[in-house]
Structure 1
């Protein structure tokens, strides 16, 4: 009887080895999936921050021209037409991408007008780092890519009779922001004039 037990144990040992090897492979595979997920999350975070940084920098640039636009012939309707603010916004997107270990891809910078009173910045980045070595072949060369779009939206308008008639107008005393009259002297904070947010 004893020899039979020893024989059974001998036959079971290879099964245990296979089971342990399988469990180890699964563990490494889950780890590889986690690495890939972390890399994708890093890319998305970099894209989000780059797009938001671009829109925020655009808000700063537009804030400098805002007082002059109040008396321009086109009024606030023209605030996004001169896209001189775009270059500074791109520099900010590149900078924030790099801070998050990601680079703008060729063609990954797409500034464009949105709906009326809006301007959008779409950014596509690629991580500087890779997924890393894993049991899945080729991951050590894989970078993650992600895109994000941020919008800057004008929250204010001119009172009736101020600008917009192709002729310079006298400086307005107030502007209307979110349905409320707001004095222009001193000029409201930029957050009151422009909204910056990520969009899907």
Structure 2
């Protein structure tokens, strides 16, 4: 009886070893998958932040041409054709989030401009159980919109073909009065005139 029990115990030991090895492999694999998911989420967060920063910078850059278009009633022309940029801000935000910009594409669209940004992370999954993971880097992209969201009317007080005051009514319920001769600080009005947000693309 004693000898049989010893033989049974000896036969069971390799099974235990295989089970423990299998559990360790699964644990390492789950860790690698979790790390890959975290890196992917980090890259997406960096892309979102970079795209929003680029759109916000583009909105700030609208100040001079937007205000210059008002006296001669050329706001329609400005909204149809104007330069869109802001990629320098995208690079800065990606850097702050441990990522690198792989592409930054401003897409003019009249009163609804877009900036599409692609990024890649700086860390690899680097797992011994996932082939090719030592060079696998998370990538992501995001698109932000700069949208003009107001209607307006202008008034020529002196009947000299120069528009003296603009009244804006905006989708968020905001109302603005802008006199081209003494405009308010752009920081106070730009967020009412232009909305910046991410979109699925």
Q: TM-score range by the shorter chain?
A: 0.7 to 0.9
User: Residue 168 of structure 2 corresponds to which residue in structure 1?
Assistant: 175
Cα RMSD of the aligned pairs, angstroms, is 2.2
Shift of 1:160: 6.2
Q: 1:113 aligns with which of 108, 111, 114?
A: 108
Return 5+ residue gaps in structure 2 as ranges.
Answer: none
Which whole-Å CA distance do the structure 1 matches of 2:34 and 2:128 have between them?
A: 10
Return 5+ residue gaps in structure 1 as ranges.
Answer: 163-167
User: Residue 98 of structure 1 corresponds to which residue in structure 2?
Assistant: 95
Which whole-Å CA distance do the structure 2 matches of 1:80 and 1:99 have between them?
A: 34
- Structure 1 residue ranges (4+ consecutive) displaced by more than 4 angstroms after TM superposition: none
Shift of 1:80: 5.8
User: Residue 165 of structure 1 corresponds to which residue in structure 2?
Assistant: none
**Equivalence map 1:27-176=2 (5 Å):** 27-79=27-79, 81-83=81-83, 85-86=84-85, 89-105=86-102, 108-114=103-109, 116-159=110-153, 169-176=162-169
SS in 1 for 2:82: coil
Q: Which moved more, 1:120-129 or 1:47-56?
A: 120-129
CA 1:117–1:58: 2 relative to 1, 3 Å: same
Which whole-Å CA distance do the structure 2 matches of 1:25 and 1:121 have between them?
A: 43
SS in 1 for 2:104: strand
Q: TM-score, normalised by structure 1?
A: 0.85
Which whole-Å CA distance do the structure 2 matches of 1:53 and 1:62 have between them?
A: 14
The higher relative CO (CA closer than 8 Å, separation ≥ 6) is in 1
SS in 1 for 2:139: strand
Q: Which moved more, 1:179-188 or 1:29-38?
A: 179-188
